[in-house]
């Protein structure tokens, strides 16, 4: 093993690696240097020179190209490699283990297959060895990681997204336990995008806490510390009694200078980043949170320090802070957007006119260009993204790097739901919230996953794609987490996508969500009343009227309130049927899931008997406080 490292690393890089006294690390690097067979190995110490080397390598290798604004670059993924690949992402399991809808493969067979794919895969390429920390440095929440990749784009992305940890590895030496990631983009075509998509694989080995990813560049498949680490963390969390969630973390400003922290789970493309970026509030994170119980409270840290966000729809009016960052000098990687002749970028839903031509994920592009199936290609891919370090943002919360995390006052679940749930609703208690909001989360499918858009899918806690343990156990973990809390966070459901039954138009404007968060903030502190209904507690009209005025300077009519907050009984009953049907097929679903849903069904049927199918909010009596 030592011989491999000595032979294959030059003196400088050998010494950099040797500064870390960790035999497990040396074995790991040696094994994959030998197997993947790169031309060169670069060990990144996080020194300014090393970071610069990676940034420049991305342009030198052709994985990124410079743009007009200083620090901005653009990267393209293969036309057919634009999103997470559910089909070929599998958990390696011992013989006979099944995880229901979660894709698995026999561990030995999977290891054999992926090691065959990885053999000599880095020939002609450079391997980058990088050290990071998921969560703040020096925190009991955090997990150290090593990434091996031959993609400078991946190594560069991680630099913006995660806390550097070479020094931490040096300091901790042999006692370090860490997650391992091996990634190769594989052979590239002339556009420097992964070519062998038939051999695209993401295999997750829970036992070895290692993830292998090959023949893909798209961030959700390739950036080890993002969704790949999540599968490992969910497994570890389940064993250790904490939670790894697909959640944003934000600080909402309340009265008298108070800041209350919320976490929020939303499937991709359902307003998660824009919620985390809500104008006037603070962002802690937009994608992944680790939650632990401390002193009877729930605390959360952001696993990341940057954003790999969806760019579609970002405009100057709804996203002023991101808009400013995306138009200022600074290190930003755009992916799969439209690039104009002058080195500008454009995307679906950006202010201004769509340029007539340019260059995008399909190569040369012009308005009206069609794909092989005759479908018009939009200017940017709907899942086109940007990567930036949150230090570029004016609304970053000062507690981002607090090793103790932030105290969670409220947890929010939201999906894309055109016809059932109200814009905001509080659940009756932890168990009711976890079951009817979290475990019952559904969304109309979006472009973040390869496949058909629009179909309604169940997505427990918006975490389904990342689960590495049986769903039933995951739900039980969530239920158990609420036990013995002195001060359990309130659980809310939100829906930004509700439509008018008659006109089919959205019932809310994007900005309205600011009001929902202010209302939830007050609820956490018991400073505003609510209306109890069969499915949860909704705001009173008077309170919303006041908040709309204060927060948005807008008049909020009773008519709007009634339309938005009417209880749609048939849709709710249909949803309960759908959810029950799904959970009945999932072995190990906790019995209480059925009990709580059944009780909710009964409450809805009683209400329907008294008031009919569609029930105005004022039929139910408001409570005070
Ligand atoms: C998501 O789709 O939830 C993302 C981007 O955050 S990805 O890295 O693809 O998961
Ligand atoms: Mn995500």
Span from the CA of 246 to the centroid of ligand 2 (angstroms) = 6
- Residue 451 — pLDDT band, cuts 50, 70, 90? low
Distances (CA, A) of 368 to 77, 123, 361: 21, 40, 15
Give the pLDDT of residue 171.
Answer: 96
Span from the CA of 309 to the centroid of ligand 2 (angstroms) = 8
Atom of ligand 1 nearest to the CA of 269: 2
Phi-psi region of 315 (alpha: psi -120 to 50; beta: other; left: phi over 0): beta
Give the pLDDT of residue 449.
Answer: 57
Phi-psi region of 498 (alpha: psi -120 to 50; beta: other; left: phi over 0): beta
**Which is it for strands 201-205 and 210-214: parallel, antiparallel or unpaired?**
antiparallel
Task: Out of 75, 84, 154, give the residue to mutate to test ligand 1, the one with the largest number of ligand atoms within 8 Å of its CB.
Answer: 84
- The 10s digit of each residue's pLDDT in 264-284 is 999 888 889 889 999 999 999
For the CA of 248, the nearest ligand:
2
Burial class of residue 506, CB neighbours in 10 A (0-12, 13-18, 19+): middle
Span from the CA of 227 to the centroid of ligand 1 (angstroms) = 7
Alpha-carbon torsion (19, 20, 25, 26), positive or negative: positive
Catalytic residue among 44, 244, 270, 379: 270
Task: Out of 219, 221, 231, give the residue to mutate to test ligand 1, the one with the largest number of ligand atoms within 8 Å of its CB.
Answer: 219
Instruction: Give SS3 for 73.
Output: strand
Buried b (16+ CB within 10 A) or exposed e, 396-410: bbebbbeeebbbbbb
Distances (CA, A) of 614 to 567, 572, 619: 6, 11, 11
Tell me which residue has its CA closest to atom 5 in ligand 1: 220
Annotated catalytic residue 244: no
Give the pLDDT of residue 623.
Answer: 66
Tell me which residue has its CA closest to atom 8 in ligand 1: 220
Give the pLDDT of residue 297.
Answer: 97
Q: What are the start-end ranges of the H helices in 436-512?
A: 471-481
**Residue 107 predicted with pLDDT over 60:** yes
Give the pLDDT of residue 450.
Answer: 58
Task: Tell me how crowded residue 430 is: count the other CB atoms within 10 A of its CB.
Answer: 19
> Which domains, and CATH codes, for the chain?
2-61+87-240 (3.40.449.10), 244-305+400-613 (3.90.228.20), 308-392 (2.170.8.10)
- Residue 454 — pLDDT band, cuts 50, 70, 90? low
- The 10s digit of each residue's pLDDT in 535-577 is 999 999 999 999 999 999 999 999 999 999 999 999 999 999 9
Distance of CA 326 to the CA centre of its chain: 20
**Which is it for strands 210-214 and 178-184: parallel, antiparallel or unpaired?**
parallel
Atom of ligand 1 nearest to the CA of 83: 9
Residues 6+ apart with CB under 8 A from 96: none
Atom of ligand 1 nearest to the CA of 385: 5
Give the pLDDT of residue 96.
Answer: 84
- Residue 453 — pLDDT band, cuts 50, 70, 90? low
Tell me which residue has its CA closest to atom 10 in ligand 1: 220
Instruction: Give ∠ CA 119-125-129 in degrees, rounded to 5.
Output: 85
- Binding-site residues, ligand 1, Cβ < 6 A: 84, 219-220, 226-227, 268, 287, 308, 448
Instruction: Give SS3 for 253.
Output: strand
Give the pLDDT of residue 97.
Answer: 87
Give the pLDDT of residue 621.
Answer: 80
Buried b (16+ CB within 10 A) or exposed e, 584-617: eebeebbeebeebbeebbeebeebbeeeeeebeb
Q: What is the pTM of this model?
A: 0.96
**Token code pair at residue 160:** 């913006």
Give the pLDDT of residue 456.
Answer: 87
The four Cα atoms 156, 158, 161, 166 give a dihedral, to 10 degrees, of: -110
Atom of ligand 1 nearest to the CA of 219: 8
Span from the CA of 447 to the centroid of ligand 2 (angstroms) = 12
- The 10s digit of each residue's pLDDT in 36-69 is 999 999 999 999 999 999 999 999 999 999 999 9
Tell me which residue has its CA closest to atom 2 in ligand 1: 268
**Residue 322 predicted with pLDDT over 60:** yes
Instruction: Give SS3 for 448.
Output: coil
**Residue 517 predicted with pLDDT over 70:** yes
Span from the CA of 287 to the centroid of ligand 2 (angstroms) = 5
Atom of ligand 1 nearest to the CA of 449: 2
Asked if residues 43 and 17 have their Cβ atoms less than 8 Å apart, the reply is yes
**Mean pLDDT for the stretch of residues 388-415:** 98
Distance (Å, rounded) from C-alpha 439 to C-alpha 413? 9
- The 10s digit of each residue's pLDDT in 187-237 is 999 999 999 999 999 999 999 999 999 999 999 999 999 999 999 999 999
Give the pLDDT of residue 624.
Answer: 53
Percent of the chain residues past pLDDT 70, beyond the cut: 98
Give the pLDDT of residue 446.
Answer: 60
Asked if residues 250 and 220 have their Cβ atoms less than 8 Å apart, the reply is no
Span from the CA of 445 to the centroid of ligand 2 (angstroms) = 14
Distance (Å, rounded) from C-alpha 81 to C-alpha 197? 8
**Mean pLDDT for the stretch of residues 140-149:** 98
Residue 15 parent element (H or E): helix 11-18
Task: Out of 226, 303, 443, give the residue to mutate to test ligand 1, the one with the largest number of ligand atoms within 8 Å of its CB.
Answer: 226
Tell me which residue has its CA closest to atom 6 in ligand 1: 287
- Residue 101 — pLDDT band, cuts 50, 70, 90? confident
**What is the strand order of the sheet 363-366 is part of?**
345-346, 338-339, 357-360, 363-366
């Amino acid at each position: 093993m030592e011989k491999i490292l000595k032979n294959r690393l030059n003196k400088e890089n050998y010494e950099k690696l040797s500064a870390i006294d960790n035999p497990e690390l040396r074995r790991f690097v040696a094994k994959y240097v030998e197997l993947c067979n790169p031309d060169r190995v670069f060990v990144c110490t996080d020194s300014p020179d090393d970071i610069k080397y990676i940034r420049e390598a991305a342009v030198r290798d052709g994985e990124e190209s410079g743009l007009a604004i200083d620090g901005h670059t653009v990267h393209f993924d293969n036309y057919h490699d634009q999103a997470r690949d559910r089909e070929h992402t599998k958990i390696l399991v011992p013989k006979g283990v099944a995880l229901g809808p979660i894709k698995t493969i026999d561990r030995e067979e999977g290891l054999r297959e992926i090691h065959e794919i990885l053999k000599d895969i880095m020939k002609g390429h450079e391997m980058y060895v990088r050290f990071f920390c998921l969560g703040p440095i020096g925190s009991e929440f955090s997990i150290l990681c090593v990434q091996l990749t031959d993609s400078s784009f991946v190594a560069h992305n991680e630099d913006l997204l995660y806390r550097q940890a070479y020094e931490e590895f040096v300091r901790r030496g042999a006692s370090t336990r860490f997650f391992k990631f091996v990634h190769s983009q594989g052979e590239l075509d002339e556009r420097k995008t992964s070519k062998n998509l038939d051999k695209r694989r993401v295999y997750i080995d829970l036992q070895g806490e290692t993830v292998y990813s090959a023949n893909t560049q798209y961030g959700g498949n390739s950036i080890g510390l993002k969704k790949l680490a999540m599968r490992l963390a969910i497994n570890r969390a389940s064993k250790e009694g904490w939670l790894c969630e697909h959640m944003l973390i934000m600080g909402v400003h309340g009265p008298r200078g108070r800041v209350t922290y919320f976490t929020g789970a939303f499937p991709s493309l359902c307003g998660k980043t824009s919620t985390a970026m809500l104008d006037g509030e603070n962002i802690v994170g937009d994608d992944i949170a680790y939650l632990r119980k401390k002193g009877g409270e729930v605390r959360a840290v952001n696993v990341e320090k940057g954003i790999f966000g969806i760019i579609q729809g970002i405009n100057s009016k709804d996203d002023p802070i991101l808009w400013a960052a995306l138009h200022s000098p600074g290190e930003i990687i755009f992916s799969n957007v439209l690039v104009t002749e002058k080195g500008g970028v454009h995307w679906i839903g950006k202010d201004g006119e769509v340029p007539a031509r340019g260059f995008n994920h399909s190569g040369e592009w012009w308005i009206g260009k069609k794909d092989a199936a005759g479908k018009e290609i939009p200017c940017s891919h709907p899942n086109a993204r940007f990567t930036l370090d949150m230090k570029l943002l004016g609304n970053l919360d000062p507690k981002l790097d607090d090793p103790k995390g932030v105290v969670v006052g409220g947890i929010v679940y939201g999906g894309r739901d055109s016809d059932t749930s109200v814009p905001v609703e509080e659940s009756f208690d932890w168990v009711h919230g976890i079951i009817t909001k979290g475990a019952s989360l559904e969304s109309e499918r979006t472009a973040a996953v390869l496949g058909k858009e629009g179909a309604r899918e169940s997505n427990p806690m918006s975490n389904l794609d990342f689960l590495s343990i049986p769903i039933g156990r995951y739900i039980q973990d969530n239920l158990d987490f609420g036990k013995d809390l002195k001060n359990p966070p309130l659980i809310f459901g939100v829906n930004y996508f509700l439509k008018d039954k008659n006109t089919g138009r959205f019932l809310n404007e994007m900005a309205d969500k600011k009001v929902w968060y202010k209302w939830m903030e007050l609820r956490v502190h018991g400073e505003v009343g609510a209306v109890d209904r069969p499915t949860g507690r909704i705001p009173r009209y008077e309170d919303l009227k006041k908040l709309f005025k204060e927060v948005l300077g807008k008049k909020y009519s009773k008519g709007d309130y009634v339309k938005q907050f009417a209880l749609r009984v048939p849709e709710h009953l249909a949803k309960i049927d759908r959810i029950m049907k799904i959970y009945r097929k999932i072995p190990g679903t906790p019995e209480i899931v059925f009990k709580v849903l059944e009780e909710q069904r009964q409450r809805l049927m009683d209400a329907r008997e008294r008031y009919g199918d569609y029930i105005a909010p004022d039929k139910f009596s408001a409570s005070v406080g």
